Amino acid sequence: MSIFASVVTALWVMLPAYVPNNVAVIAGGGPPLDGGRTLNGDRVLGDGKTWRGTVLGTAAGTLLALVLNGLHGTVSDLLSVSLPTFPVLAAVGLAFGAMVGDVGASFFKRRTGRGRGTAFPGLDQLDFVVGALVIAALVNSSWFTSTFTLPVLVTVFVATPLLHVTTNVVAHRLGLKNEPW
């Protein structure tokens, strides 16, 4: 697979996992997932992880995958790259997995005494990728192994932190996010 094909495929296949966290930032708020509960004096997750953000983020990522399925032929022809389609389970797995990864990172931050909104370089950029990949692999392993070839996986892990940093700085500048991470 050429580098161009790897990059295009990696971005395409991860779009349903990139969108949920950004939608959560815009659409989130309301009752927190942890219901305000604490664990050894610290919040289980904190007010930054809400039901609305999680549900709408997952829905948006899933919906985007279905839209991409519709555009699949056109975009593949246009770029001369044979892009993958998203079976519904894989779509939900990527979108929900991205949210789960982000929630998992908050859980970890709270257990290590880090308050809401603290940066954790590395974790902040990759939590949702790992979550998306793990859940997608669990719900549709045959799709996962045929889609995430080694070059695609490597590209995902290199390109995602760069994209994540860029979009978060933009979201911060636009006043959508409190911190630029």
Instruction: Summarize as ranges the residues that interact with ligand CTP (CB under 6 A).
Output: 24-25, 28-29, 46, 48-50, 53-54, 99, 102-103, 106, 109, 116-118, 177
- Minimum CB separation from ligand CTP for residue 52, in Å? 6
- Number of helices (H) and strands (E) in the chain: give both, helices first: 6, 2
41 burial level (CB within 10 Å; 0-12, 13-18, 19+): exposed
Output the CA–CA distances (angstroms, integers) from residue 118 to 77, 109, 179, in the order listed.
43, 8, 8
Report which of 23, 30, 9, 36 is spatially closest to residue 102, judged by C-alpha positions: 23
- Minimum CB separation from ligand CTP for residue 8, in Å? 27
- Minimum CB separation from ligand CTP for residue 48, in Å? 3
Question: Radius of gyration (Cα) for the chain, nearest Å?
Answer: 17
109 or 131: CB nearest ligand CTP: 109
2 or 118: CB nearest ligand CTP: 118
72 or 172: CB nearest ligand CTP: 172
157 or 181: CB nearest ligand CTP: 181
- CA dist 82 and 73 (Å) reads 9
- Minimum CB separation from ligand CTP for residue 140, in Å? 23
